[in-house]
A = this chain, B = another copy of it.
Amino acid sequence: MRLSRYFMPILKETPKEAEIVSHRLMLRTGMIRQQSQGIYSWLPLGKRVLDKVNAVIREEQNRAGAIELSMPTLQSADLWQESGRYEDYGKEMLRIRDRQDRPMLYGPTNEEMVTDIFRSYVKSYKSLPLNLYHIQLKFRDEIRPRFGTMRSREFLMKDAYSFDLTQAEAIHSYNKMFVAYLRTFDRLGLRAIPMRADTGPIGGNHSHEFIILADTGESEVFCHKSFVDFDIPPVDTDFDNVEGLQTIFDKWTSVYAATSEMHDEAAFAAIGEGDRLSARGIEVGHIFYFGTKYSEPMGAKVQGPDGKEHPVHMGSYGIGPTRLVPAIIEASHDENGIIWPESIAPFNAVVINMKPGDEACDSTCERLYAALQNAGKDVLYDDTDDRAGTKFATADLIGVPVQVIAGPRAVAAGEVELKDRKTGARETLTIEAAINKLTA
């Protein structure tokens, strides 16, 4: 992408309304724009990151055997009356009447709708296990939306729903998502800690929140320090191996970790003082097993091997991509701006032309730009007339992992400079060597 043709409205001033660093940086880099209270547009740079986050989530959901569909944003109130949640949900549910005066709502979550889909088609245990997910907009009419997309009203959610014949099988489905989440957050450059959690309005009796530690977190969390060294389940993890997954789950839940709602002072005190960690955290995922809470009232039953009908055991599994993006920034930035993990960087590299109009600089940059693109890299080419200082500041601010700097002196010697955004390390390479390194 040529920056001269891109739409990346960098703000010079730090926006006053932003209380936390991720919100400030997302506004300053032109990633997002607030349209109404708690409702945001994702401008091109933000959209690129969001898409990459979604792609990682999707890959790990698919790897764990979940199947993607897409449910609509608007739901009929009928379904929620069946489950009993229509009255319970309170003012966070955005209630709507259509032109026929039918009661509708903007879905805050999809347990009812997915249960309705399930009961319409699935009649036998032979079709189980089943895990259906989508990545879809939700709306929760928060009384106090804040921190940009960290707590917005319209937000994106990956929500998966598992269906099993028995509780034991449902726990295996739960463990699949537990492992998928560990892998997902790790690939996003985060160390997320699963913590026993309150089940809230979703209901149920087995639930974990995945929390990353950050000073700006809304939750207070308590855990054992050893989490930092736990191994992430590898890419070839066999999700059909019931015992294997249970072992991973047991390991990751073997030491103390809890949010304030579930905190047990005595258990925490029992940890050696040097191993106690008490901090602020950001919830980036939440998984629930809730048994037959919805299948029972909504009649989602399958015929078992015994020939009888059984309500299915269900779980639900949420990750908020529009919250993950600021969470990643909270975890990875410095005084100059964002530092994106490679996996979700909006561009893999930025080519900085120090003297546009200079024939040698132009041709070198065009060559680099073409070579990286041909190798399948996402490249930003700063071909603008801005001053060098502005270009460097912008490149640092938007956090692209590698800067390729083409100035007249280096180019005359057949060289360019590479700067690593994270470490600040610089090296001068021949143009060919730079291309080889960046396309390796």
A residues engaging B (CB < 8 A)? 5-7, 9, 30, 33, 35-37, 39-44, 46-47, 50, 65, 67-76, 91-92, 94, 96, 98-99, 102, 104, 106, 113, 116-117, 120-122, 127, 130, 132, 137, 139, 141, 143, 153-154
Contact = CB atoms under 8 A, between A and B. Distances in A.
Contacts of A75: 35-36
Contacts of A127: 7
A70 B94 contact: no
A430 to B, nearest CB: 31
A7 B130 contact: yes
A154 B74 CA distance: 8
A98 B98 CA distance: 15
Contacts of A92: 99
Contacts of A40: 72
Contact of A137 (B5, B43, B117, B137): B137
Given A33-B117, A44-B69, 6 more contacts: A7-B127, A30-B121, A35-B76, A40-B72, A41-B117, A47-B69
A70 B42 contact: yes
B121 A72 contact: no
A71 B6 contact: no
Given A41-B72, A70-B50, A72-B41, A36 B121 contact: no
Count of chain copies:
2
A431 to B, nearest CB: 26
Contacts of A130: 7
Given A35-B76, A75-B36, A70 B98 contact: no
- Give the top 6 A-B pairs by smallest Cβ distance, nearest first: A9-B121, A42-B70, A36-B76, A41-B71, A99-B141, A91-B99
Nearest to A92: B99
A71 B32 CA distance: 10
B98 A6 contact: no
A141 B98 contact: yes
A92 B91 CA distance: 25
A47 B71 CA distance: 10
Contact of A72 (B9, B35, B120): B35
A273 B191 CA distance: 72
B71 A104 contact: no
A39 B72 contact: yes
Contacts of A35: 71-72, 75-76, 113, 116
> Among A30, A37, A39, which residue has the most Cβ atoms of chain B within 10 A?
A39
27 contacts: A7-B67, A7-B69, A9-B121, A9-B122, A33-B117, A33-B120, A35-B71, A35-B76, A35-B113, A36-B72, A36-B74, A36-B76, A36-B104, A39-B72, A40-B72, A41-B72, A41-B113, A43-B117, A44-B132, A47-B70, A72-B137, A74-B106, A74-B139, A74-B153, A74-B154, A94-B99, A98-B153
Contacts of A141: 98-99
> Among A36, A43, A91, A94, which residue has the most Cβ atoms of chain B within 10 A?
A36
Given A76-B35, A91-B99, A7 B132 contact: yes
Given A96-B94, A117-B41, A120-B33, A73 B7 contact: no
> Among A102, A122, A137, which residue has the most Cβ atoms of chain B within 10 A?
A137
Contacts of A91: 99
